Amino acid sequence: MNQNNNEILLTDLAKEEINEFDSIIFDCDGVLIDVTKSYDTTINKTISYILKEIFNTTVDNLLTNEMFVGFKSTGGFNDEVDITYVGILCYIAAQKLNKDSNEFIFDVIKNADSTGIKSAEDFFNQIGVDLTDEMSKLNYPSDRKTNPVSMIFNELFYGPELYNKIFKKNSRFTENGFIENDSVIINIELIKKLKQKFNNKLAIVTGRGYQAILPSLKEILNEFDTKNSVFLEDESRDLAKPNPQSLIQTIQGLDSKNSLYVGDSMEDLILAKKASELGFQTTFCGVYGSGKLPEMRKKLFIEQSVPIILKSINFLPKALNLV
């Protein structure tokens, strides 16, 4: 890894390939938008609400920054609702086992992998904790319009007006949605610089739905090729990251021969690697500064030999020699 400065890290191979990229595809959360005060807050609020209202229990400490990064680092928890679900089970299991919840959650993370929920449930089975009744009540993952974890998460995240618009149902909450805490990173000036190299081959592959991304990006979204973008919340769950089909679909739609995929997680890295292995040349660019514990994520990317590592997408023009 050749270090240009503290904000931009490039391998020698990446430097050679930079001029070959003909499209750039973005993840959304942690890349285009800082979700620290929106999604992360919604996870803990949902866990707390469900533990109290459905399981009549409370906990003193909810998920920490290290836990969020830990779950994401496994490669199996791109979906924040998945983290919420496993988080709920972790607190219940810890109580049943009379274990410290923080220590137990880190044990679950240590034993999790890219299969996400399955790896966590396998671990619960291995240590002999019976969560059959709790899992039955949560009924997750199933139709996100009906299972309590998805419903409560979405009600809290979107707020009553947007929730009703998307799901055609009324929310049980009246407070503003945490989506209003999204902090947008991308701006029109950066897009114009990128279009000097990529023309109109700018797209998005994100776990969010189209209606979930629209309020925060607004007019900027029109600068992307939304026709060839993929909003995974609107798709079948089997397309969820790190399944590479969503990225391949976008690459094919852009008629790209050598794409740059910009993400912030292990799922994104695995996604790009799998696309390349299937013959769709993709280089991964890891962004680490738009969230909690940036140095921890930077270290993870370095350990994984990510070819391009940036503190923020604002360093893309410099990394791509556009300035």
- This prediction has a pTM of 0.90
Residue type present at position 66: E
Where does residue 159 fall: left (phi above 0), alpha (psi -120 to 50 degrees), or beta otherwise?
A: left
Q: Which residue shows structure tokens 């996400």?
A: 116
In Å, what is the CA distance from 179 to each residue of 40, 62, 275?
Answer: 10, 20, 31
pLDDT at 291: 78
What pLDDT is stored for residue 152 in this prediction?
Answer: 97
DSSP state of 29: B
CATH class of 2-35+182-319: alpha beta
Element (H, E) at 122: helix 117-126
Tokens of 260: 């740059």
How confident is the model over 82-112, as pLDDT tens digits?
999 999 999 999 999 999 999 999 999 999 9
Cα distance between residue 22 and residue 29, in whole Å: 23
CA atoms within 13 A on the CB side of 299: 6
Determine the pLDDT at residue 235: 93
Under 8 Å between Cβ of 299 and 266: no
DSSP H/E element including 309: strand 308-310
| 70 neighbors 106 (Cβ within 8 angstroms) | yes
- Model pLDDT, residue 145: 80
Task: Pick the closest to residue 273 from 259, 255, 292 (CA basis).
Answer: 259
Nearest by Cα to 261 from 220, 230, 221: 230
**CA separation for the pair 72, 287 (Å, rounded):** 13
Q: What is the pLDDT of residues 19-51, one digit of tens each?
A: 999 999 999 999 999 998 999 999 999 999 999
Q: Residues for the chain: how many in total?
A: 323
Q: What is the largest CA-CA distance in the chain?
A: 59
DSSP-derived letter for residue 255 is T
Dist CA 254 CA 251 (whole Å): 5
pLDDT averaged per 10 residues, the chain (length 323): 71 90 96 93 97 94 93 91 97 97 97 96 97 96 88 96 93 96 96 95 95 91 97 91 96 98 94 97 95 89 96 96 85
pLDDT, position 144: 78
pLDDT confidence of residue 306: 96
What residue ranges do the domains of the chain occupy? 2-35+182-319, 39-180
